[in-house]
Amino acid sequence: MDIVDAVRSRKSIRGYKPDPVPKEILKEILDIALNTPSAMNTQPWEITVVTGEVLHNIGKGNVEMANARVEPSQELAHKPFEDKYRQRQVDLAIQIFQLMGITREDKEKRAKWYHLGYRFFDAPAAFILSMDKSLDGSLMSLLDMGAIMQTICLTALNYGLGTCIEDQGVMFPGVVREHTGIPESSRIIISIAIGYPDWDFPANKLESTREPVENVVTWYGDA
C-alpha cells in the first residue's frame, strides 16, 4: 500500500467483524513495525498480544470495574484537556454520538458505548504497549512509544485491517495484569484494538476533522 494512501486513509475503527486475524499476520505487522526509530535506538517498547478468551476476559473485567464505579487508574500520566483541546474532545464525542444515534439524555446507551470501548470495540485482537518503569520520566521514550503505535496502525492497513488506539482499554491496569504476564515493573502505556473493519458500523463512517496547515505550521526562510 502506498504510504500516502495509508496515512490519509487510516482512521479509528470502532466496529469490527468477528473474523479472527491470523497469528502470522499479527506477527508480520509487528515485525515490520519494529523498524520504528527510537531515541539512540533504545527500543523502549514491549508489546503484548491478546486475543480470544484472554481479550474477552480483559474486556469483561474492564466493564465490571466501570460498573462498580472504580476510578480509572491508567498508568500514562494524563490531565483533563482545557480550552481548544477540550473543545475538540467535545466535538469528537458529539460526532460519534450523532452517528451512533445516542442522545445526551440517554444514559443507558452512553454507558453501553463506553463499555464497547472497554471491550476493545469487540475486536478479535489487541496489542498492549508497555515500557519498563526504569524509563519513567523519559519523554523521549514516550515519543518512541507513540511512533511505534502509529507505525503499527499504518502497517495494519496493508493487510486490510483497521485499528483503534485506545487508552480506554488499559484504564484498569490491574485487570490487564490479572490476565497477562505484564509485570509491575512495566508501565502500561496504551492499547490498540485490531481487526477487520465492519464498514456498516455507524461510528466507522466518522471523518474526524483536522486543523488546516495554515493554522498549525509556521514558516521561516525562503521555502
- Running DSSP on this structure, what letter comes out for residue 10? -
Cβ closest to ligand FMN, residue 87 vs residue 208: 208
- Residue 177: CB minimum distance to ligand FMN, A: 19
> Nearest approach, Cβ of 99 to ligand FMN (angstroms)?
12
Q: Closest CB to ligand FMN belongs to which residue?
A: 168
**Count of beta carbons in the 10 Å neighbourhood of residue 201:** 17
Sequence-distant (6+) residues with CB within 8 A of 157 are: 1, 6, 9, 10
Q: How far is the CB of 24 from ligand FMN (least distance, A)?
A: 26
Choose between 23 and 199: whose C-beta lies nearer to ligand FMN.
199
Nearer to ligand FMN, 12 or 155 (CB): 12
Report the residue number, 62 or 186, with the smaller CB distance to ligand FMN.
62
| Cβ atoms of 47 and 127 closer than 8 Å | yes
Binding stretches for ligand FMN (CB under 6 A): 11-12, 14, 92, 117, 164-168, 190, 208
In DSSP notation, 155-173 reads: HHHTTT-EEEEESGGGSSH
Least gap, CB of 175 to ligand FMN (angstroms)? 15
The phi and psi torsions of 166 (rounded to 5 degrees) equal -145, 115
> How far is Cα 110 from Cα 103, in angstroms, rounded to an integer?
8
